[in-house]
Amino acid sequence: STQARIVILGGGAGGMAMANRLSRRLDGARISLVEPREVHHYQPGWTLVASGVWNPDKTMRPNARFVPNGVDWVRQPAAGIDAANRRVELGDGSWLDYDYLIVATGLQLNYQLIDGMTPELVGSHGIGSVYASIEGAARTRDAIDAWIAQGSGKGIFTAAPTPVKCAGAPLKMTFTTLSRLEASGRRDAFQVEFMAPGAALFTQPYINDFVKQRFDDQGVTRRHHYRLSAIDPQAREAEFTFVGPESEFTSHHELREEEFSREGERKVVASYDFIHVVPPMSAPDFVKASDLIAQDGPFRGEWLEVDIHTLQHKRYPEVFGIGDVIGAPINKTAASVKAQAPVVEANLIAQMQGQALSRRHNGYTSCPMITGIGKAMLVEFGYDNDFAFLPSFPFIDPKDESWVAWVMKDRMLQPAYYAVLEGQA
Ligand code: FAD
């Protein structure tokens, strides 16, 4: 039994899983779950909504269904973290003291870093963005419908110059749209381009090569080392900024000269009929403003500082992180949360008992890479051996596209996800 005060920031996949696990495991602990939303969103379903396969209603459940008895649900946002004094500031200006803190806020979408772009634009002027919200996912579907109904034109798919949640989603949106263009019977009337800020499209090397080859085979023009920097919705023009390095310039097709304009060679302006916008992402501003943010290394100023294996904060041993907010080379999936939750549980309890932290997260992440409507690859991998595959189903080869993997995405992963929230998986 313990009288410890545990505060969990965020009641999404990670925070809700921890609330359920810790309330079951710890007798007498005072657990507060800070979560302003009444509705829980199953975000992995948004790709299927934006692809016209699922109805949006299917992705929403009341949070009340998941919050365990005995946990104090604080229905307001956290506004600040005073790590030195172990307290959290809430939206109404009050403070919540803690002995142990779990940061599970998820990440922040930084649409404002693209000039002219706001999430409200999604669904109008040929703009889609599966990430924006459930409404945004549904409006993305409508914008793609409108483009297809137009019968021809150019679609530009983008990727972000930062880590993103479900790094496969920008690729999946391209593949499901290609399926829909083919189904329209007029594939040749549509141009499809993919603009990537880096040389790679995906971290896992086999899948990276596979997707590049498949894009080439399916007539998708790839351009690398460009990030979306501005958008002019009225003109349906997007500005991309070259983010080098020059020597690694590996555009699959030659850039057309006429698209260079405005501020010289470092930018390219492209017109579009449809554009899929992927915003830069980071930890939420209030986490960035706290001393818990990474102080150096690749995640500096942008992501929560944790040991990527124990998930304990590197400078504040009473603080742990789970989910999208943490600085780690991969992860940012619900599948990672499933793998991380037992690690955070065991290590937090070890910390409370003054014992060594023995559980280690191996970086497990999974992304059913949808390669078309009705087919997918079950991609599972971790930190080690250059992001080698970590397959959990002996009957599914991660290198194969299959209908079975699609069925898992379409029907089986959502119940598995709710089991994670309930602390069972
Ligand atoms: P979230 O689940 O986002 O929860 C964060 C919570 O914190 C939210 O409830 C929010 O309201 C709350 N919060 C935010 N700010 C505050 C604050 N100031 N105070 C208090 N609470 C706050 N994962 C997969 O495994 N497979 C997939 O195929 C997949 N596809 C995806 C497709 C899309 C389009 C998207 C958007 C995501 C996808 N994911 C997928 C990723 C998955 O949804 C996330 O990785 C997972 O939800 C991360 O859990 P989390 O708890 O870190 O964040």
Which class for 38: exposed (0-12), middle (13-18), buried (19 or more C-beta within 10 A)? exposed
- Same structural domain, 320 and 355: yes
Shortest CA distance to 212 belongs to which of 160, 175, 263, 267?
A: 175
- Same structural domain, 122 and 184: yes
Residue 227, pLDDT above cutoff 50: yes
From atom 3 of ligand 1, which residue's Cα is the shortest distance away?
106
The ligand 1 site (C-beta within 6 Å) comprises 9-15, 34-37, 43-44, 46-47, 77-78, 104-106, 130-131, 165-166, 169, 284, 286, 323-325, 332-335, 337, 366-368
Ligand 1, from 18, 122, 166: best to mutate by most atoms within 8 Å of Cβ? 166
- Same structural domain, 290 and 176: no
d(CA 425, CA 419) in angstroms, rounded, equals 5
Supply the pLDDT for residue 265.
Answer: 53
- Residues 16 and 40: beta-carbon distance below 8 Å: yes
Does residue 394 form part of some domain?
A: no
Report which ligand 1 atom has the smallest distance to the Cα of 14: 51
For the chain, the C-alpha Rg in angstroms (whole number) is 22
Which CATH number is 45's domain given? 3.50.50.60
Ligand 1, from 63, 332, 333, 418: best to mutate by most atoms within 8 Å of Cβ? 333
Is the model more confident about 243 or about 344? 344
Ligand 1, from 51, 94, 202, 324: best to mutate by most atoms within 8 Å of Cβ? 324
- Same structural domain, 118 and 102: no
Please, which pLDDT band fits residue 394 given cuts at 50, 70 and 90? confident
Supply the pLDDT for residue 261.
Answer: 39
Supply the pLDDT for residue 28.
Answer: 84
DSSP 8-class letter at 119: G
**Where a domain ends, among 225, 251, 279?**
279
Does residue 203 form part of some domain?
A: yes
Q: What's the 43 CA to ligand 1 centre distance in angstroms?
A: 7
10: containing domain: 5-107+283-363+416-421
**Where a domain ends, among 217, 251, 279?**
279
- Same structural domain, 153 and 253: yes
- Same structural domain, 245 and 290: no
Does residue 251 form part of some domain?
A: yes
For residues 295-314, give the mean pLDDT.
97
Torsion angles phi and psi, residue 377, rounded to 5: -120, 135
- Same structural domain, 94 and 119: no
Residue 247, pLDDT above cutoff 50: no
Does residue 41 form part of some domain?
A: yes
- What's the structural domain count of the chain? 2
Shortest CA distance to 172 belongs to which of 332, 407, 365, 369?
A: 369
Supply the pLDDT for residue 255.
Answer: 39
**Where a domain ends, among 235, 252, 279?**
279
Which CATH number is 245's domain given? 3.50.50.100
Residue 361, pLDDT above cutoff 80: yes
Does residue 389 form part of some domain?
A: no
